[in-house]
Structure 1
Amino acid sequence: MTENLHNQGYLGWWDELRRRQPNLRLDCCASGGRRNDLETLRRAVPLHRTDYVGEPTSQQCHHYGLSQWVPYHGAGYIVGKSALPPPDCPPIPPPDKIDSYFFRSGMSPSLGISVDVKRDDYDYDFLRRLIAQFRQISPYYYGDFYPLTGYSLRNNVWIAWQYDRPDLGQGMVQAFRRHENNEESQTCKLNGLNPDAEYIVTDLDVNQPRTYTGRDLMETGLQITAKEKPAALIITYEMLK
């Protein structure tokens, strides 16, 4: 009964805040993502989905799992600092530099960035490029989410997912080759495309567009390759009109 009354008061308090301030935006980040229950998510979004920030494998897994249930959530990117990992998730030592693998592992509908801007030895041009890429692909986070690989905390695998915007005829794939993975390539079958249409597919790091049919991308699949490990790739696609 005590818990029931507590929850009624908690939700009623938020409802009254929203009644008084209809445009109020509420963040339900609390105790490491422990307020992501259904009734809270009717009223707020978790702008920071967990206190366990900075370790890339866990960030990828949080994104993979939560995106299947919660359409809007956030994470963070911290330069040179990492939380302690759980026993089954061996860490990658966080580099004291701007790093695309760590940055892209935290990319989500909402992204917070923590960088000591008093440091003059960071590659700020590279950071600006990563932020520009995030802004470029961020509209796709409002699309349909599709896992493209299985879920795993192991560091010898690929993990990947797709966001598709059928209203735009566009979307993206985020793919991660983890640091113990000896497979340079992974083939992913995409979802939700027009099988008879042609799509321009572009790796943001290579910028050499290729053309595929929707049927090829869904039935044969898209081969994703990373020569180095760990690696984080962002591949966009756009349907030709």
Structure 2
Amino acid sequence: MQAKLDKSDCMFLISDEKLNQFQQMIDELDLFTLVLPFVEESYQRSIWILDIWYSISNEEINRISNPENTMIYPYRNSILGIIKTLPIKRYIQLALYENERLAFLCAIYIYNELDDFISKKMAIKEEVKENFDALKKYSNKSLRPFFDSKYIEYENYPKKLAMLQNTVVNELHEIHKKYEIPLSWTFEKAIDDASKVYEAVFGLINDWGGRVP
């Protein structure tokens, strides 16, 4: 069953129209979601791709962060912060602002490549791998209920979950510092691969004026 995404889990304050647009693309471009299906068991992954799609297809001045979710999802927020620093070729970036299909494909490829790269680096140290795997056990659900006041009435503040995310975020920062150039290459490869797929299926990106000198 396809994951029903909740915009309140997004790292940005997005409209119902934008969320519906994204959900419609999942249906329209289902051929490209076979590798990364948008199903209930991978709820967090689907939200990740929604965040990346929104981030790369809207200029920063038009994006409004969800401040509450920076506390609830510090790991995802940190990944988006890294993505923000990675360069995109100018003609591709301009195309992404105007072409939601291209942005959708790029978001899938970016998620897949970066998740694979970071997962491999997290696995180098056994203790880090254990923490990373423990965080991934939450991949099928929203984390917001753990921080809801009704939950906290019955359970203590989700200290273990917060500490787990903090540990993984610290390791992510170390990976970013140590592997900044390979990480940039991985990101560039994801954009290039997605662009090639787009051009093979839908035509050249510059056919509609996205390319600039």
Per the normalisation by structure 2, the TM-score is: 0.28
Q: Which has more strand, going by share of residues?
A: 1
Larger radius of gyration: 1
TM-score for both structures, normalised by structure 1: 0.25
